[in-house]
Amino acid sequence: MACIVPQPESNLTRRDFRAMILNLFKREKSCLEIHETLQKHFPNIVPCLRRVERWYSEFLHENFIFEDGPRPGRPSITHTVDSVELVLDEVTKDPHVT
C-alpha cells in the first residue's frame, strides 16, 4: 500500500509531521521505515530519527495528542505594560539603578 503524504511544503508544522507519523504508525511501519518515508518526501525538513522514535513511543502508549505540552521554566515573554512602566519610573528616578 502506498503512503499518502501531502506535497512538500516548507510551512509544515510539528503537528503535521506528528499526524504523518501517526498515519504510518497505524499502517504498522517501523520507526526507520517512517523516517525513511518522511526523508523521501521532505528531504530538507524531515524530523530526525530520534524525534520519530519519541513520537512512535508516545503512540505505543496511546498518547495521540499532537500539541506540545506545557514547558517548565521562564516564560517566553517576561514583560508587561505594568512592569515596563515600573522599570522606566525607577530608571527615570535614578539612572544608576541598572
Cell of 16: 503535521
Q: Which numeric CATH code is attached to 12-68? A: 1.10.10
Indicate the domain borders of the chain. 12-68
Q: Which tens digits make up the pLDDT trace of 2-61?
A: 444 545 456 888 889 999 999 999 999 999 999 999 999 988 888 999 999 999 999 999
* Cβ contacts of 3 within 8 Å, gap of 6 or more: 23, 24, 27, 37, 41
Nearest C-alpha neighbor of 46 from the set 3, 16, 4, 1:
16
How far is residue 98's CA from residue 93's CA, in Å, rounded to a whole number? 11
